[in-house]
Structure 1
Amino acid sequence: MTTGLSVVSATTLTPSDIEIATRAADHFTRLYYTTYDSDTRVVDLPQFYRPTSTLTWNGEPVTGVDGVKNLVENMPPTKHEMHSFDCHPIPGSQPPSLLVVVSGNVHPRVFSQSFMLLPDSTAPTTKPGEVAKYYIGADTLRFVG
């Protein structure tokens, strides 16, 4: 039988957890969009995903590393300008999964993108206070203007 205390401790995030998650999301978004806009994106961008990852790009679903690679191979060069992001740590694991919502411009369009970032169990173990390593479990991009 589970006590109320153990349920609360498994689902409660500390201010430190939230601060570390926000740093992880900031690091992730900067690296992701820099990679997306690079000349090597066809090779490098799929590394953010796993075979089970899903991406919905303006209503069109693709799955896995190969699906992402096929999608970006056919896109013209991009230049993303991120205006804001929000990070929502999802309690239940340590480090927590992250829901990251981004808004910005990719010339000349306005976009909104949501990521479900999952802790990367294959990455080296992080020390307390370090930013965890994540991969994209799910990704949805929509042009909104």
Structure 2
Amino acid sequence: MTALTKEDIEIATRAAEHFTRLYYTAYDSPTRVDDVPNFYRPNSAMTWNGNPYGGVDAVRELMAKMPPTKHEVQSYDCHPIPGSQPPSLLITVSGSVTHGGGPAANPASTPAKSVDGQPRVFTQTFILSPDSTTPPASGGLPTYYITADTMRFVG
């Protein structure tokens, strides 16, 4: 197994910041049904709260069924996975997400303890693979796509 270099760690750190910003901006945008699937490939796997989805079309269908979102990323961490150059990345993200218009958008009949429209704590883990078919992104960073993605509400 190839040891990680300081450059691998620097690439991972920059790529994680870049990816996290782009991904959640796309996810929260009105055009997410078209934008978010671009992060995936036909062989990508996603698990959303225990429900499996495979490939770009399934991600697009999930995005189309979901109400608008607003993510607040509190933290993320990235670890380069040795074995490829540039390395694949394991990224873990935690934060909160509000679906719909927030509590003020709920009908008056919504129970006070309902999670509808309330911020919910989530954790999301991604495995990103370098995309050799696309030129490097801004700042010379490799272009990555999501190989695997699992999202879970934790609160």
TM-score calculated relative to the size of structure 2: 0.84
2:42 partner letter: P
1:62 shift after superposition: 0.4
2:152 partner letter: R
Provide the identity percentage: 69
Tell whether 2:7 aligns with 1:16: yes
Aligned to 1:4: none
1:131 shift after superposition: 1.2
1:90 shift after superposition: 0.3
1:68 shift after superposition: 0.1
- Root-mean-square deviation (CA), in Å? 1.5
TM-score calculated relative to the size of structure 1: 0.89
Partner of 1:123, secondary structure, is coil
Aligned to 2:122: 111
Matches within 5 A, 1:66-105: 66-105=57-96
Quick one: distance in 2 between partners of 1:132 and 1:82? 23
1:82 partner letter: V
Tell whether 2:20 aligns with 1:29: yes
Which residue of 19, 26, 42 maps to 1:51? 42
1:16 shift after superposition: 1.8
Quick one: distance in 1 between partners of 2:72 and 2:32? 16
Quick one: distance in 1 between partners of 2:88 and 2:132? 12
1:48 shift after superposition: 0.3
